[in-house]
Amino acid sequence: MQQIAPEILERAAASIESADAIIIGAGAGMGVDSGLPDFRGNAGFWKAYPRYAQLGLNFVDLANPRWFDESPALAWGFYGHRMHLYRDTRPHAGFAILQKWAQKKSGGAFVFTSNVDGQFQRAGFSAERVLEIHGSIHVMQCTRQCGLGLISAEEFSVQIDDTTMRARDPLPRCPRCSGLLRPNILMFGDRDWDSRRSDTQHDRMEAHLAQLSKSRARLCIIECGAGVAIPSVRGFCADLARRSDALLIRINPREAHADFGGYDHLAITTGAGAALSALDAHIAGRRA
């Protein structure tokens, strides 16, 4: 594991300790230390799902709502496998470290994530303090848009043929109209995603940030595993750092460099779990 320079550890720890609230930005790299794939490029995706390489399908190909019309078994083979993988995955220790820090802050923490895995909620973060900008695999919507709204995916299970990566019948069906259900996830070219849940989460986050600004709370922004290919999380964190004059601690083993410009930035080039553990140990040492 790459060592973090003492001066970086000290400055990051001091920012965390002095903050009144923590804002967490998280991309796919946050889940890697829990054993989840980050789908980095076609090679990374095919390493996680070699069968799709044989079919000539990559992540962008599969993460498309058209398959729920053209090949529901293929669509649910892909999303059903991910749904059960995320259900069975235990969040790594870094989640608990972030939560421990947040619990000591008057303004707590708020999470802004592009992940659909629900790992922050599973780790004990309040659902009221998480914004999932791409939705959640643990929530369903009807492909017929019959007026069902959004429902929990908890009662649904999908059986998958591992040789074909296609789902077996019965597929998840709408309890209102018997139409096919799909995950409430924003896919590529997706015109039918029901964004109401994420919109509500966004409103909560804006209200939280407004309250922190009103009280002149000191922020510390911790970004974990957010890449540059789709820079939604990076853009949010950089913009907030710029507006709030807060330090942005960017944890990313490959892409920890500053981008967008005009903000205070600290790069930690390790994985999220290792970085958060090292920071927590340094904070404990400061108090000893």
Active site residues: 134
Residue 15, Cβ density class (10 Å: 0-12 exposed, 13-18 middle, ≥19 buried): buried
Q: At what angle do helices 272-287 and 93-103 cross, to 10 degrees?
A: 40
Residue 217, Cβ density class (10 Å: 0-12 exposed, 13-18 middle, ≥19 buried): middle
Q: At what angle do helices 6-18 and 272-287 cross, to 10 degrees?
A: 70
CB 52 within 8 A of CB 126: no
Q: Is 156 helix (H, G, I), strand (E, B) or coil?
A: coil
The tokens for 157 are 């299970």
15 residue type, one letter: S
**Helix residue ranges, H only, 111-267:** 119-122, 196-214, 232-244
Give the residue among 111, 134, 114, 135 at the shortest CA–CA distance from 123. Answer: 111
Q: Residue length, the chain? A: 288
